[in-house]
Structure 1
Amino acid sequence: MKANQISISELTIYSGKNIYSHKPVMKMTVDIGAYGDIPTKDIPMFNDKLLSLLPGLRKNCCGLGYEGGFLDRLREGTYLGHVLEHVILEMQYVLGYEVSFGRTRTITAPSLYYLVYEYQNEVCGQECAKVAVFILNHLICGDDIRIGEFMDYLRKISAEAELGPSTAAIVDEAKKRGIPVTRIGHESLVRLGYGKNSRLVESTLTDATACVCADISSNKQLSKYLLGEHRIPVPYGKVVYSEISALMAANQIGTPVVVKPLDSNQGKGVRLNLTSPGEIREAFSRASKYSKGVIIEQFVKGDDYRVLVVGDAVRAVARRVPACVTGDGAHTVRELVDIVNEDPNRGEKHEKPLTRIRLDDVAEALLKKQDMTPETVVPSGVTVQLRQNGNISTGGTAVDCTDIIHPDNADLAVCAAGALGIDIAGIDIVTEDISKSILDTGGVIVEVNTAPGIRMHLYPSVGQPRNVAKDIVDFLFPSASSVRLPIVSVTGTNGKTTVARLIQHVLMTTGMTVGLTSTGGTFIGKKCIARGDNSGPLSARSLLSNKAIDAAVLETARGGIVREGLGYEAADVGVITNITEDHLGLDGVSTLDDLVYVKSLVAEAVREDGAAVLNALDPTTPAVLKRIKARPILFYNDMKADAQFTRLGCVRVYNDGGWIRIRDGRETYNVAHVREIPITLGGAIGCNIDNALAAAAALYGLGIPATQIKAGLMSFTDNAGRFELYDCRGVTVMLDYGHNPAGYETVLGACKNLEHRRLVGIIGMPGDRRDADIRAVGEMSGKTFDRILVKEDTDKRGREKGEVARLLCDAVLAAGFPPSQAAVVEDELEALKKAIAESKEGDLIVVFYEKLSRLQKFLTEAGAQKQYAPANNRVLASV
């Protein structure tokens, strides 16, 4: 790549709701090189060549809001980053994708940009970006481009990346009823729904079909044996493994016969109505290419019908018509095939309702039997057969016969699917008239197919289309409760882990198996299945795929939202505990307004009938309220503010003289007194009163009764790493994950309400925080603690060793703290050991930890007793 040309440095895919759009988008970072500050009007012939390649750009609205706005921008002189965005969108549009959203922003002037653009087909979106860069690089150099070749390539790879028509139809039906869809890989495997009711579907093969059943159905002779046991009419046949055995079997059965592979599909290697030894030899040779075993079976005269069984009912019936052409007296067979294949409904494989007819050796062999070649001019009105089997995949068409199937035939089809244990099956019946019972006419069931294609029923060439995709989704999700998995997503600067744990615990008391993702790990009930910080979208997606869960509570951190978007489609309840300045300067989040924009996504991505739980006293809440569509539920810990929220008419959850109450319209429910909630330490921990309020609001939003909320809040005691107390021979140790100024302020405020002789702090801060935040924590600590030990995190997050400790120490001393009472002990465990060794009975040691488990292990091994309330009820202030 020349230095003055465009280059791609990064391409990120956001498959779900994200901070740029609620639709899937891609974010591409590009360097425009020397053309960063050169407008398009100053690049010779650029505009003219671009518009000749993609004339549809003339109609693009751009940000000007009217058709032709982009054309005006080109003439005025816009920049290549902006042009690149429009070219990517236009190419996708030409390929048939309805995409329109795009945004281009400067990262570093004049040449470094990021651009965000909508996509529907992931492979197409990626490849269009690469092709667009290639095209623009040639245009700025004055080179000519043959865009047709590029579009042919993009059209081909896009078609290959699409879901098959059967899967796509099922996915569309699932989306209509709000069932989340997750595509797994780039094939046609999808997951419908979340948790215990989720279903894996590939084409029409579901996870309910046992492997042994699928194997049996692919073995045609074994299938016939099982069907015969159920007294279902099947054609007589034998399995052979040599040409001579094939001839002997045909002689024994009696011609005409059918020759087909023992285990193949889509009509591969199948030959019908064979009478001569030569035909049988040739057919055996062809069939043996697809399977070691070959079936020789009696030929039953009649039409080929496909009966679709879903569950215990027939949902559609189609007569399959083999690929053929009809002469006009002017065109050859080859020309007639080309004319038929011009039908836009015909594709190369399964991407269209029909498949193109192929003039291959199978077709030529059949032409030979009709005394024709591909170059024969066909007389007017004469039909030329090009396939014996009616499979849509070999160019056949279908005639809907659903309304005329005889009840006996429908019952036999359902029985056949049940005999093989297949929930969605394609039953192939050969009979002269499907409206008459095959028990009377001599018709037979020739095959039972797993993963039957449904194109012929969705798009019959003749007759009424049947929406069998709806039937399949109804079968997979038979009730309203099976469609929905309760999901609560919790974000905020502080308190989100505790709130998420509280919600999980209360839901578990109702008998649910509840999954939780959090900074402390991923849990199914109380069992940790993945350790570490699991508050990002990958962890959310992983949990939601677990069939053990009845509900999910997702702690949703800022970083994952920015980098990858959300890991779920929509929540029933979105909770924002608070939004304060934290993590600023990371991932492009520089201001509090930026942070509000990011975290608001959790409240925006809520079902229309769901709820957004917001902190009424948080200064950012009015801005969030403007962005949400769901019902707001406000919580607050100050009755003085009650009057200002009454007029909003929304549900309110508040602290009224120590009582948590819920007011919904004219109804008021008493939940619990804060002193009864263990994590508030008798009302001393104000932030945990806030957290209990937020959890109660979320649970009410899910429809949990106030009595159940009370029972759950009162029984929740294990909040590991959050105000976690240990009694170590009269010295109290508190472990907490305060990692920003707001978190420190909350913990230090709570400590003032706990009786202590001395307050000892083991303080530290993550290295990715701003210097100002680190100094603020140091100053706050210097004004509060009696003894301070400064430690450093093992993960420096880009800082030099000792850098954070120096910033903290300087701020502690600048606050007037006695130098003799401050020390640096870099390892937090060693700092705890030192603090305990120096302390006397009645001291309170607060550790702002990085790694919780090693501190817990040390305290347990040292004989410290975990406390669920302050030792000896040492509470100075309570509600």
Structure 2
Amino acid sequence: MKVVNLRVLRGRNVYSHNPVIKLTVDLEELYDTPTSEIPMFNDNLIALIPGLKEHKCSEGYKGGFVARLKRGTYLAHVMEHTALEIQNMLGYSIRYGKARWDSGESIYNVIYGYTNEIAAVEAGLMAFDILNHLIKGETIHIGERLDMIRKKAAELELGPSTKAIEVEARKAGIPIIRIGKDSILQLGYGVYQRRIQATLTDQASCIAVDISCDKWMTNELLRQNGIAVPEGRIAKNKFEAVEMANEIGYPVVVKPFNGNQGKGVSLNLNCDEEVIAAYEAVEKYTTDALIENYIKGKHYRVLVVKDRVIAASERIPAHAVGNGKNTIKELIEIENKNPLRGEGHEKPLTKIQIDEVMLLLLRKNHLTLEDIPEEGQVVYLRENDNLSTGGIAVDVTDQVHEDIKKICIRAADVIGLDVAGIDVTTTDISCPLSDTGGAIIEVNAAPGIRMHHYPSSGTPRNVAKEIISSLFPKEKDYSIPIVAVTGTNGKTTTTRMVTRILKEAGHYVGMTTTSGIYVGDECILKGDTTGPTSAKTILMNKHVTAAVLETARGGIVNRGLGYDLADVGIITNITDDHLGLDGIETLEDLAHAKSLVIEAVKDTGYAVINADDEYCLSVRDRAYGNLILFSKDHKNNYVVKHIKDGGRVVYIKDQIIYMATDKEQIPVVNIENIPATLGGALSHNVENSLAAVAAAWGLGIDKDIINRALVSFKCDEKENPGRFNMYDVADFRVIVDYGHNFDGYKKVIEGLQKIKINRLIGVIGVPGDRLDTSIHEVGILSGQSFDYIFIKEDRDRRGREEGEVANRLMEGCLKGGIDPRKMEIELLEEVALRKAMEIATAGDIVIVFYEDRDKVMEAMNEFNNQKQRVLHQEKIVL
């Protein structure tokens, strides 16, 4: 066996509306060998991965997969279940998976879901290796590899606060984009987006965060605003630390002036020696230490979101409870086995680490790690109470006095934080600070919230939900209108028409097309930008108020969608193109793949499909939301029935495009007034106009706005570059079009035949990844339609030999009836165009189906300029 390919489909995809891994494998000579015929395979597999016994498989009961193994199943199926179970062993509960034949005799796709991309990729490769070893009868040890994967996967995990935010955002239906590999999330799309890292939102300024990190500056600001804080000084060395401790008066606190998570903090110091030792602990983080007077009492964290106290916890430092048998070190080891404790922030509690700060505290209390505490004796291992150093939290939200709430809200406002963790020390949180001598110790930006979500005792508080509500109040939008456009032909023009309508409606539109990414009127990136990465570029732009995303087959099949749910999904048509690629062998396969665009639509959104196309109609039942059919024929049976069923339709009647229901017919625009249709001659642009009208109707755009947009939409370089652009060159015309398959050629030729012309000269070519039969059919059509033909090839031959596509086209042209003397092969398209223009006479039309529009335009402009120079010289001679 061998791995052929591995793809990560991060968005909604043709297999699932959740992320999946697509592992393509070649089973080679074992493609038809059932597991029951491989010696000891089944027994060794279950012994190695006993969790497989729990898999139900298609049998529907626990042990169903084992039953399949015993009867004999194919290896791709086993690989699927093994990859799933490895993820389960790593702590990820994943159930979705399937294995499907791909091509040839032995190529299979193993599809399985995931939540952690690194873990999933490694699980697939590990499953492959396990099967390979077992087939050969070799021993394989998986423990170390699982540990390695676990460590790598942990690097990709969101922190607990960010994870909680993500969960609540998804519950609220808010789309999420993770920025980079750290814990920064974009919530929402376009102009409505917000960004957050842990609990630090984009509302907080850098200055506010810097102030909160500077403990001394925070102390000064709060004091100036009449808020009770400890007296403090900054010491730059241990001698200053001792001097300032004596000035303030013992007991004191020593901590880094800009620390976090309680690192390097020492409390309740009572002599110079302890201050020196504490300062040395600070030096591991910074040279400047904050010396403060020690405030007696319990330690609390009060969480403020906007102008409300959302939660409060009493924080208890890491400690061990004696049993009269074990040493302090052993008690720590026992506590660290608590399943609620993990490394860093991976679990509700953090494992207790032995370090110099702990040893300093033990020495101060005349203890060592080897001492054995008595039964019930509490030994504190930290003076600071942070969860990150092993502390625990008890919810006290309902006990916080109103005066303390007001002070905490004011403290957050003084610093400038919309989300803040206020550290309060007081003997009684239910009394005003003025009564207890308590004080605010710190104000923290990006406060951790796991203590509130998972208190050791008390009521859990869903802080993440409150933060989401503060970012997106009920009346505030979180997503912009999104239109996704797919199909075989017409995608780009339909995308541009919808964009034009949205601009007319006042939107600042982001658009992806085969020619580039556009924001407003600016092309920010040239090229074929119809995949998920390009879609995200638009959705991450903070100025965009609406998005129109051309969505091509390749991106859908190989990477999934780059957005969550659209307001409108369009399928323009399904015709013979790209068959034989990526497992898409038939038009039914192609229709199924493209149907993802009408599946990934909001419940309140609309799926728009072509009622004149049988393959579009075949997938209409897959559409989510509401359905709009469009047709050139108002008597189309499907249209008539859909109206009777209460649906929306867009059709043509007496040259007028109507939006119709069973209650009304709304005239929108005469197709002869749409410049892109060339007076109605270009049937494909008539269809594209229908699709655009349907999309705009689905978005609730007024018919007058739609009319104004379409009557001003032209097939020129500005509005629709590369799509039936017509240029006057000398005394003939050149048409530049992106037709690249039979249907594209057919629609263009039909339009040209309605125009009064002298001769029609074709510069033709087809991409090399089309089927031989498809290339041949384009040749036949061209031979039947053109008076003279120049055959060229794309520079990107897509796996073909030089001249191979040209020869296929030539054979088709001859079968179509072209005179061999009026046909020429010239592989470079700019040279072929130049030759076509050189033989053109008055009234002729030259049409070039281009690969590289820039080269075509350059050749045409050079020819035109040369002609102008010749004419100028002739005038001079005369």
**TM-score tier after normalising by the smaller chain length:** over 0.9
User: Against the structure 1 CA distance between its residues 851 and 235, is the aligned structure 2 distance closer, same or farther, given a 3 Å change threshold?
Assistant: same
* 2:20 pairs with 1:19: no
* 2:73 pairs with 1:78: yes
* Cα displacement (A) at 1:438: 2.3
SS at match of 2:694: helix
SS at match of 1:161: coil
Q: Could you say which residue in structure 2 is the equivalent of 1:659?
A: 656
* 2:207 pairs with 1:208: no
Tell me how far apart the structure 2 counterparts of residues 779 and 39 of structure 1 sit (CA, whole Å).
47
Q: Could you say which residue in structure 2 is the equivalent of 1:876?
A: none
Tell me how far apart the structure 2 counterparts of residues 365 and 321 of structure 1 sit (CA, whole Å).
18
Tell me how far apart the structure 2 counterparts of residues 700 and 804 of structure 1 sit (CA, whole Å).
43
Structure 1 outlier segments of 4+, above 6 Å: 861-864
* Cα displacement (A) at 1:407: 2.9
Identity %: 48
Q: Could you say which residue in structure 2 is the equivalent of 1:3?
A: none
Q: Could you say which residue in structure 1 is the equivalent of 2:757?
A: 756
Equivalent position amino acid for 2:209 in 1:
A
* Cα displacement (A) at 1:549: 0.7
* Cα displacement (A) at 1:156: 4.4
Cα deviation, 1:163-192, whole Å, max 9, x if unaligned, reads: 111011100010011111222333322222
* Cα displacement (A) at 1:194: 1.6
Q: Could you say which residue in structure 2 is the equivalent of 1:507?
A: 502
TM-score by length of 2: 0.94
Structure 1 unmatched ranges of 5 or more: 1-5, 865-879
Equivalent position amino acid for 2:339 in 1:
P
Equivalent position amino acid for 2:246 in 1:
N
Tell me how far apart the structure 2 counterparts of residues 683 and 44 of structure 1 sit (CA, whole Å).
70
Q: Could you say which residue in structure 1 is the equivalent of 2:293?
A: 298
Whether the 8 Å contact between 2:833 and 2:859 is mirrored in structure 1 is no
Q: Could you say which residue in structure 2 is the equivalent of 1:52?
A: 47
User: Against the structure 1 CA distance between its residues 563 and 457, is the aligned structure 2 distance closer, same or farther, given a 3 Å change threshold?
Assistant: same
SS at match of 1:482: coil
* Cα displacement (A) at 1:22: 1.5
Cα deviation, 1:637-658, whole Å, max 9, x if unaligned, reads: 0123143443443210111111
Whether the 8 Å contact between 1:36 and 1:109 is mirrored in structure 2 is no
Given the alignment, which residue of 341, 359, 381 partners 1:346? 341
* Cα displacement (A) at 1:601: 1.0
Equivalent position amino acid for 1:489 in 2:
A
Tell me how far apart the structure 2 counterparts of residues 693 and 307 of structure 1 sit (CA, whole Å).
58
Q: Could you say which residue in structure 1 is the equivalent of 2:790?
A: 789
Cα deviation, 1:352-383, whole Å, max 9, x if unaligned, reads: 11112234332233223333333333223322
Equivalent position amino acid for 1:657 in 2:
D
SS at match of 2:604: strand
Cα deviation, 1:467-506, whole Å, max 9, x if unaligned, reads: 1101111122224542122111100011110100011111
Equivalent position amino acid for 1:798 in 2:
G
* 2:654 pairs with 1:676: no
Tell me how far apart the structure 1 counterparts of residues 159 and 150 of structure 2 sit (CA, whole Å).
15
Q: Could you say which residue in structure 1 is the equivalent of 2:484?
A: 489
* 2:699 pairs with 1:702: yes
Whether the 8 Å contact between 1:596 and 1:620 is mirrored in structure 2 is yes
* 2:765 pairs with 1:770: no
Whether the 8 Å contact between 2:251 and 2:294 is mirrored in structure 1 is yes
Q: Larger deviation: 783-792 or 251-260?
A: 783-792
Whether the 8 Å contact between 2:501 and 2:710 is mirrored in structure 1 is yes
Q: Could you say which residue in structure 1 is the equivalent of 2:523?
A: 528
User: Against the structure 1 CA distance between its residues 156 and 805, is the aligned structure 2 distance closer, same or farther, given a 3 Å change threshold?
Assistant: closer
Tell me how far apart the structure 1 counterparts of residues 106 and 804 of structure 2 sit (CA, whole Å).
34
SS at match of 1:581: coil
Cα deviation, 1:612-635, whole Å, max 9, x if unaligned, reads: 100011011232112223211100
Q: Could you say which residue in structure 2 is the equivalent of 1:388?
A: 383
Equivalent position amino acid for 1:673 in 2:
N
Equivalent position amino acid for 2:755 in 1:
L
Q: Could you say which residue in structure 1 is the equivalent of 2:239?
A: 244
User: Against the structure 1 CA distance between its residues 742 and 249, is the aligned structure 2 distance closer, same or farther, given a 3 Å change threshold?
Assistant: same
Tell me how far apart the structure 2 counterparts of residues 800 and 134 of structure 1 sit (CA, whole Å).
37
Q: Could you say which residue in structure 2 is the equivalent of 1:715?
A: 712
Q: Could you say which residue in structure 2 is the equivalent of 1:456?
A: 451
Given the alignment, which residue of 193, 196, 203 partners 1:198? 193
Q: Could you say which residue in structure 1 is the equivalent of 2:223?
A: 228
User: Against the structure 1 CA distance between its residues 95 and 828, is the aligned structure 2 distance closer, same or farther, given a 3 Å change threshold?
Assistant: closer
Whether the 8 Å contact between 1:192 and 1:199 is mirrored in structure 2 is yes
SS at match of 1:528: strand
* Cα displacement (A) at 1:153: 4.4
Equivalent position amino acid for 1:462 in 2:
S
SS at match of 2:15: coil
Tell me how far apart the structure 2 counterparts of residues 824 and 34 of structure 1 sit (CA, whole Å).
44
Whether the 8 Å contact between 2:393 and 2:455 is mirrored in structure 1 is yes
SS at match of 2:689: helix
1:350-499 matches, cutoff 5 A: 350-499=345-494
Equivalent position amino acid for 1:769 in 2:
R
1:471-870 matches, cutoff 5 A: 471-641=466-636, 642-717=639-714, 718-857=719-858, 859=860
User: Against the structure 1 CA distance between its residues 463 and 50, is the aligned structure 2 distance closer, same or farther, given a 3 Å change threshold?
Assistant: same
SS at match of 2:780: helix
Whether the 8 Å contact between 1:524 and 1:549 is mirrored in structure 2 is yes
Equivalent position amino acid for 1:668 in 2:
Q
Equivalent position amino acid for 1:165 in 2:
P
Whether the 8 Å contact between 1:205 and 1:450 is mirrored in structure 2 is yes
How many residue pairs get aligned? The number is 859
User: Against the structure 1 CA distance between its residues 46 and 779, is the aligned structure 2 distance closer, same or farther, given a 3 Å change threshold?
Assistant: closer
Whether the 8 Å contact between 2:187 and 2:478 is mirrored in structure 1 is no
Q: Could you say which residue in structure 2 is the equivalent of 1:162?
A: 157
Cα deviation, 1:57-106, whole Å, max 9, x if unaligned, reads: 22322233443222122112223332221111122223332322222234
Q: Could you say which residue in structure 2 is the equivalent of 1:874?
A: none
Q: Could you say which residue in structure 1 is the equivalent of 2:874?
A: none
SS at match of 1:617: coil
Whether the 8 Å contact between 1:781 and 1:812 is mirrored in structure 2 is yes
Whether the 8 Å contact between 2:22 and 2:111 is mirrored in structure 1 is yes
Q: Larger deviation: 263-272 or 151-160?
A: 151-160
* Cα displacement (A) at 1:815: 1.9
Equivalent position amino acid for 2:134 in 1:
L
* Cα displacement (A) at 1:558: 0.8
Tell me how far apart the structure 2 counterparts of residues 109 and 836 of structure 1 sit (CA, whole Å).
46
SS at match of 1:13: strand
SS at match of 2:666: strand
User: Against the structure 1 CA distance between its residues 593 and 334, is the aligned structure 2 distance closer, same or farther, given a 3 Å change threshold?
Assistant: same
Equivalent position amino acid for 1:257 in 2:
V
Equivalent position amino acid for 1:321 in 2:
I
TM-score by length of 1: 0.94
Q: Larger deviation: 329-338 or 621-630?
A: 329-338
Equivalent position amino acid for 2:214 in 1:
N
Whether the 8 Å contact between 2:237 and 2:287 is mirrored in structure 1 is no
Structure 2 unmatched ranges of 5 or more: 866-878
* 2:98 pairs with 1:122: no
Cα deviation, 1:568-610, whole Å, max 9, x if unaligned, reads: 1221111000001111112221111111111111111112221
Equivalent position amino acid for 1:723 in 2:
F
Tell me how far apart the structure 1 counterparts of residues 629 and 263 of structure 2 sit (CA, whole Å).
63
Cα deviation, 1:230-271, whole Å, max 9, x if unaligned, reads: 232221211111111111111111111100012211101100
SS at match of 1:725: strand
Q: Larger deviation: 848-857 or 442-451?
A: 848-857
User: Against the structure 1 CA distance between its residues 116 and 710, is the aligned structure 2 distance closer, same or farther, given a 3 Å change threshold?
Assistant: same
Q: Could you say which residue in structure 1 is the equivalent of 2:869?
A: none
Cα deviation, 1:444-463, whole Å, max 9, x if unaligned, reads: 22212111100111111222
SS at match of 2:614: coil
* Cα displacement (A) at 1:744: 0.4
* Cα displacement (A) at 1:532: 0.9
SS at match of 1:840: coil
Cα deviation, 1:854-876, whole Å, max 9, x if unaligned, reads: 33355557669xxxxxxxxxxxx
State the superposition RMSD in angstroms: 2.2
